[in-house]
Amino acid sequence: MSSVFDYSGLLNEVVQECRKHAERGQLPSYIPELKKADPQMAGVAMMTARGLFEAGDTRQNFTLQSISKVFSLLVALERRGVEVVFAKVGSEPTGDSFNSIVKLETSEQKPLNPMINAGAIAVCSLIPGASVEERFSLISGLLESILDRPIEIDEAVYLSEKETGHRNRALAYFLKDINGLEGDVEEVLDLYFRQCSILVNCADLARIGMFLAAKGINGAGTPIVSANAVRLVSTFMVTCGMYNGSGEFAIQVGIPAKSGISGGILGVVPGQYGLATYGPALDRKGNSVVGISMLRRLSDVLDFSIF
C-alpha cells in the first residue's frame, strides 16, 4: 500500500458496512455481567507506522477475556522458560470449544494448548510471585509497558466470573489432580479471573497488536519481551486464537489473532500493523460476528494474509 492510503476512509466504510451483521450473533449468557453489553456496538482500529486509525466505537471499554491468554503466556514464557511452560501445556489445536473438559482426561493428561481455558489456567499457575497481587502485577505491568498507562480491571465482571466460573473451577481442580497446576487452585483461578477482567478498548488493542507485529518492541522503541516469545504466541494465535473457528479464520483473514468472549479481537499483521475490532454479538464458536466480517473485508482490500 502506498503511504497515502486512506486508512480512515477504509475503516469508516468497513464499520458502516459490517455493523448490520450484529443481528446474526448473540451476547454470551454464561457470565451475567457480559449480557449488559450493547450488541449494536462496532469499532475497528489499526496501528501503523503512520499512527493510529480508527472508526466506530473504538473508545468503548470492554474486558479482555480470552485475549488475556496472550499476555499471561508471554509472561510465563519469559519468566519460566519454554521448557517449563510446555511441560504443563501442549501445542496442538483442538476441535472442541474453549472451555471443554473432555480432552483433559482422554489425551495426554495436559491441556492441548494455552489458548483454551484449561491451558490458560495451567499457564497462570506458572506465573511467579508471592501473592495473587504480585503475579497479577506481572501481567498488568506488561500491558502498562506496552500502553504506557495504568491498567484497571472491571470489578463487576471479575466478581461475576468468580461467582459463576464453575466450569473453570472444575478444569482447575481436575488439572491439580493430574499434577497440571502449580500452587493453590483458588489463587490461580483468582489470577485467571482478574486477567480476563482487564479493561481495554479497540485503540489499546491495536497498539498491542503493533507491539506484537514489531516482535515485542513498544511504541517508544523499547524491547519488552523476547522476539522468540512473540513468535511462539503469534503461532498459537494462528492455530488456536479464534477457538475452534481458527481454521476458517486462517483461510478467510490469514493473520495471528485472538478473540475474547466480550467481543474483542486482537489482530497482528507481522512487521506491518496491529488491528483490533469490537462487536459484542458472538457467533456459535464465541467469536465476534461483526469483528470477523470487518477483518475479512480488510484482509480482502489490504491483502494482508500471511499465507
Interface residues with ligand GLU (CB under 6 A) are: 65-66, 98-99, 117, 161, 168, 196, 260-261, 286
Sign of CA dihedral 42, 217, 226, 79: negative
**Choice between 114 and 286, CB closer to ligand GLU:** 286
Q: Output the DSSP codes for 114-143.
A: TTSHHHHHHHHTTS--SSHHHHHHHHHHHH
**Contact, 241 vs 68, CB < 8 A?**
no
Q: How far is the CB of 164 from ligand GLU (least distance, A)?
A: 9
**Measured from the CB of residue 192, what is the shortest distance to ligand GLU in angstroms?**
7
CB nearer to ligand GLU: pick between 68 and 299: 68
Least separation, in Å, of the C-beta of 235 and ligand GLU? Answer: 19
Q: Which residue has the cell 524491547?
A: 223
Minimum gap (Å) between residue 130 Cβ and ligand GLU: 25
Residue 38 and residue 43: Cα distance in Å, rounded?
A: 12
Cβ of residue 10: shortest distance to ligand GLU, in angstroms?
Answer: 28
The owner of cell 466478581 is 159
Backbone angles phi, psi at 240, to 5 degrees: -140, 5
Q: How many other β-carbons are positioned within 10 Å of the β-carbon of residue 293?
A: 22
β-pairing, 43-48 vs 273-278, is antiparallel
The residue (of 196 and 255) whose beta carbon lies closer to ligand GLU is: 196
At closest approach, how far in Å is the CB of 279 from ligand GLU?
A: 14
Our CB check for ligand GLU shows the closer of 123 and 224 to be 123
Ramachandran angles phi, psi of 47, nearest 5°: -105, 120
What residues contact residue 68 under an 8 Å CB cut-off, 6+ apart? 120, 139, 195, 196, 198, 260
The closest of 272, 285, 256, 290 to 7, measured between CA atoms, is 272
> In whole angstroms, how large is the CA radius of gyration of the chain?
18
Output the smallest distance, CB 147 to ligand GLU, in A: 20
Rank residues 58 and 66 by Cβ distance to ligand GLU and give the closer one.
66
- Our CB check for ligand GLU shows the closer of 248 and 300 to be 248
Smaller CB distance to ligand GLU: residue 99 or 277?
A: 99
Name, in order, each residue with C-beta under 8 angstroms of 257's C-beta and a sequence gap of 6 or more.
237, 238, 241, 242, 249, 265, 266, 267, 268, 275, 295
Identify which of residues 209 and 216 has a Cβ nearer to ligand GLU in the complex.
Answer: 209
Question: Please, what is the minimum distance in Å from the beta carbon of residue 296 to ligand GLU?
Answer: 20
